Amino acid sequence: MKKKVLAVLLTAVMALGALAACGGSGNTGNGSAAANNSAAPAETNNKTSETQTATGDIPKIVMETLYFDAVPRDLAAVEAAMNEISIPEIGVQVELYPLGFSEASQQVGLMISSGQQLDLVVCAGRSDFLSLVNKNMVLDLDELIATVGQPVAEAAAKAIPGGYVGGKLYGIPSIEKYGSINGLCIDKSIVDAVGWTKFDLTMEELGDFLAQAKAVTDKHLIHLSGGGNAVANFEMMNTVDYLGADIACGGILGVGSAEGDKVVNIFATEEYRNYCKLMHEWYEAGYFNLDAATNNDSGQAAVTAGTGAGYFIKTELDMVDQQAAANGIEMVGLNTRPHIVVTGDIAQQTWSIPYTCADPEAAMKVMNLMWTNEDFINLMYYGIEDLDYRTLEDGRIGFLEGEAPQTVGFHQWFGLYGNVALKKVWEASPADYKEQLEAFNNDVTAENSSKFYGYAFNPDIVKTEYAAVNDVISTYRTSLECGVVDDVDGVVDQFVKDLEAAGINTIIEANQKALDEWKAQQ
């Protein structure tokens, strides 16, 4: 790739002219991200509408790519480099269509419904994926993957069950880690000061640690951000299978060999009630920020500001190292939920082909590259070597001298693009990360893998009740799980009554019926 940089940049000159029309060249790395961000969506729409087909007989596939603050300034150069691979290997031209992360789900729906060319889309959340499926906006991929997509089928074999809805394959999950571990990511200096040496903990053991840690720091130990009614800490410390949906649809406590067969209202279980009581005890003990139920700041913001010590997050493999690099301090993961594999985790990010795609076979060929070609994959993530990143002596990669996340010309922060396991190892991860990843992904047994992996309940069949139940959940859940409720028994009782009045039992019955039908077909 290094030898092709000059050729790629020369090829990109004409593409940069086209990108300038979409506001892409406005980000010099030091300019106003806000200005670029406001201009990008409307102007990028003009680009695609003016160029519906590739030059000559080569089909063109328009592929969604996401950004945070502004369209990456090296986007056109990266696109040109990707075409250096795609055109000779599969006879397809790729056009990257940049969308801001916050507006992407809405913009994708609008583009598909209006017939604007968009041939490969990524959903960074289960709800967005189900929304496209339920609106009939994406294709059933079963036939395509059997005829054209064998490379994807082989490379993503473990993940593909997560892309099924109602027995049909609508998306290819893009995952790196087969399953996840949850825990408390916390300032290492506090763990050292306590002298704590156990890192796989029960809730009771975590409570013991917090009691000792409280004596050695003035920071609040666990930062909770409940201002957006998004607190969902029960899953961080309890093993539960939500069957490809979410807690509003019920679930099954336990996973694998500990998993039952009956879908239940999780909020009505003794496990949930006792959990809420423990959270109240921890809140009263001062382990949380006092404004936990209303605060909107992230855990990272609290740690970097020096007011908070840690927060709940996924803690497997390099996740804690990545947080430490972002926060600028050494951190440790205290695991509160072991390695498990459930449909919901695998199906968090999926690639789909809109029903408006004029050449689905060409789109599937691009996905083949996204799952098998390391050069293509690393271009999508890190851009061009010696332009957007450098290779370190040990083989890992990092920013160029003088560059930072705010100034780099191209870098994807989302683990969304194809076969994530083929990415180069970033400098925040250990040098033997690939070996660790292989061991982690092979650590799947009947003990930690859901019996119902591949089943996903679709709440669209009970959408009226689903909306009503979520309204009730938003009223109660945050305050209970942030520990600010004094009368836990009374509030949980009323919570369950309101859920039942909103129709949660109807949802659970539908979920159970669909699950039983799925089991019968296996």
Two tokens, residue 513: 């019926």
Instruction: Give the three-class secondary structure for 338.
Output: strand
CA distances from 83 to 51, 59, 318 (A): 16, 12, 31
Determine the pLDDT at residue 55. 54
Q: Could you give the dihedral angle defined by the CA atoms of residues 418, 414, 93 and 385, in that order, rounded to the nearest 10 degrees?
A: -100
CA 256 to chain centre: 23
User: What are the backbone dihedrals phi and psi of residue 216, each rounded to the nearest 5 degrees, phi first?
Assistant: -115, 0
pLDDT one-digit tens code per residue, 263-310 = 999 999 999 999 999 999 999 999 999 999 998 888 999 999 999 999
Backbone angles phi, psi at 185, to 5 degrees: -95, 115
Query: What residues form DSSP beta bridges with 98?
Result: 65
Tokens of 504: 């949660």
Mean of pLDDT values over 113-123: 96
The sign of the torsion formed by the CA atoms of 307, 309, 311, 315 equals: positive
Is the pTM higher than 0.85?
no
- Entry field: residues in the chain: 522
At 340-389, the pLDDT tens digits run: 999 888 877 899 999 999 999 999 999 999 999 999 999 999 999 999 99
Q: How many CB atoms lie within 10 A of CB 269?
A: 17
Contact 467, 356 (CB under 8 A): no
Long-range contacts from 46-52, C-beta under 8 angstroms, 24+ separation: 46/21, 46/22, 47/18, 47/19, 47/21, 47/22, 47/97, 48/95, 48/97, 48/116, 48/117, 48/118, 49/116, 49/117, 51/18, 51/95, 52/117
The b/e string for 28-50 (b: 16+ C-beta within 10 A; e otherwise) is eeeeebeebbebbbebbbebbee
| DSSP 3-state percent helix, strand, coil across the chain (nearest 5) | 50, 15, 40
In the chain, pLDDT over 70 holds for what percent of residues? 89
Report how far Cα 63 is from the mean position of its chain's Cα atoms.
18
